[in-house]
Amino acid sequence: MSKTLLKGGRVVDPANGRDAVFDVLIEGDRIARVGRDLPVDRGVAVVEVPSGFVVCPGLIDMHVHLREPGHEHKETVATGVAAAVAGGFTAVACMPNTSPVNDNAGVTEYILKKAAKAGLARVYPIGAVSRGQKGEQLADIAELKQAGCVALTDDGHTVATAMLMRRALEYGGMFDLPVIEHCEEPTLRADGVAHEGFQASALGLRGIPGEAESIMALRDIALAELTRGVVHIAHMSARQTLDAVRWGKSRGARVTCEVTPHHFVLTDEMLAAPVAYDTNVKMNPPLREAADRDAMIAGIADGSVDVIATDHAPHHYDEKRVEFDRAPFGITGLETAVSLCFDRLVHAGVISIARLVELLSMNPARILRVSGGSLSEGAPADISVLAPDLRVTVSAARMRSKSTNTPFDGWHLRGGVAATIVGGRTVYQNDDAAIGLLMEREGR
């Protein structure tokens, strides 16, 4: 059994209340010990972690579009997990809006087979709430659970009716599957392509008000109370939605929520400049106003926000090189999230690194009820090594994702990923912050 000792890193493990310099001993695919100045036995490969680097439980991105099956020109499971580990993520949960939709065990198993073949990040498929994501009949939820799905969603759309959402919460609850909701009241959303506000008005773009999101969040919180089900609000963007979530939590409803890096970093002013009508700032929900962006930051700081997830949504450049209103929604996120979080949250003094680890690892593991989220002894050795002070220049061209649709290309950020370890195997190491881990060959 291989043994590796990560020596001298700053271990940040909020699940175990640790934030100090510790050694971490990995034996095989497990964390064997965490302690101060652990003895170096024979046959242990010692890796000196540079001072200031963070050793934390593996990051989990619970909102990712891997596009396979069906949209392999945008991304595949293999390129998606390569992007994930390069972004410091040891696991991703992937959305079911593939073609065919992941609404049955066959698709779930196909995704898991591709993930095993890639052998990089862990992949947790999320099943559809409704068959074909059509919002009519429930998908075969027991079968999805058995095949390995960890949650349910009709992401891309809201669960179409209150009754279907009620049934999903009740029925999914039998299998401990949370329902992840893309909140969007369809008639208010209409054919909108950008946040409804001054920028959209000035540019002549059809607007989507924040209330399109908050109305649906309020519906779902009420239904979570009715059913005692668990609802997780995806990619929250509007300040009204955050208020709705706070209200639900204060009442004891089982509601959690996530925010994407782009919604706590960018605003709708990006529609006009630096590149007017840049389709790489078109996503759903849209970039909103500074007041919304600031509300997301406040929610991250005060604990109202449970998770940071990327909504990694790769699209081929041909699909994005069209008129703004014809372009698909979405941007990539896996390879920029950690740098944006450090730069805009940690170094900006909004949150501690421990809180960041809660948002990126501990809470997603808890909500999805998957392994990870802590560096407990005996747990799988899913570990991210982060370099908080690494100077990073974002380069879309150098990314491992198959797509380059990011608005952050060329940005200079402080904070990055040094290495990613999944099940004791080093699956990524950053040349700019190498710490001398022994790399295994990609794939198995």
Partner 1 sequence: MKKDLLGIGDLTPDEIYRILDTTEAMREIGQRPIKKVPTLRGKTIVNMFYEPSTRTRTSFEIAEKRLSADTLSIAASTSSAQKGETLADTALNIEAMAPDMIVLRHASSGAGHLLSRLCKSRIINAGDGMHEHPTQALLDAFTIREHKKRLEGLKVTIVGDLLHSRVLRSNVLLLTTLGAEVWVCGPATLLPPGIERLGVHVSTDIDEAVADADVIMMLRIQQERMHGAFFPSTREYFNTFGMTRARLKHAKPDVIIMHPGPMNRGVEIASDVADGPYSVILEQVANGVAVRMAVLYLLAGGAEGD
In the list 113, 117, 206, 398, the residue contacting partner 1 (rule: CB under 8 A) is 206
Please confirm, yes or no, whether 311 is among the known catalytic residues: yes
What is the C-alpha separation between 284 and 106, in angstroms, rounded?
29
Q: Which stretch binds partner 1 (CB under 8 A): 133-141, 195-203, 352-360, 411-419?
A: 195-203
The one segment of 217-225, 269-277, 330-338, 356-364 that binds partner 1 by CB under 8 A: 269-277
Is 318 a binding residue for partner 1 by CB under 8 A? The answer is yes
Among 58, 87, 156, 197, binds partner 1 (CB under 8 A): 197
318 or 431: whose CB is closer to partner 1? 318
Please say which residue, 324 or 428, places its beta carbon nearer to partner 1.
324
Among the listed residues 204, 303, 410, 443, the single contact to partner 1 using CB under 8 A: 204
The residue (of 200 and 255) whose beta carbon lies closer to partner 1 is 200
Measuring CA to CA, which residue among 392, 359, 379 is closest to residue 421? 379
Residue 213 Cβ vs partner 1, minimum distance, rounded to whole Å: 16
Q: Which of residues 319-378 bind partner 1 (CB under 8 A)?
A: 321-326
Is the CB of 197 or the CB of 388 nearer to partner 1?
Answer: 197
Decide: is 196 part of the binding site for partner 1 (CB under 8 A).
Answer: yes
Question: Is there binding between residue 291 and partner 1 (CB under 8 A)?
Answer: no
Nearer to partner 1, 325 or 409 (CB): 325
Residue of the chain from 137, 198, 348, 439 that contacts partner 1 (CB under 8 A): 198
Q: How far is the CB of 202 from partner 1 (least distance, A)?
A: 7
Annotated catalytic residue: which of 13, 311, 343, 382?
A: 311
| Contact window for partner 1 (CB under 8 A) among 103-111, 174-182, 229-237, 271-279 | 271-279
Q: Give catalytic residues, as residue numbers.
A: 311
Q: Which residues bind partner 1 (CB under 8 A)?
A: 196-207, 275-277, 318, 321-326
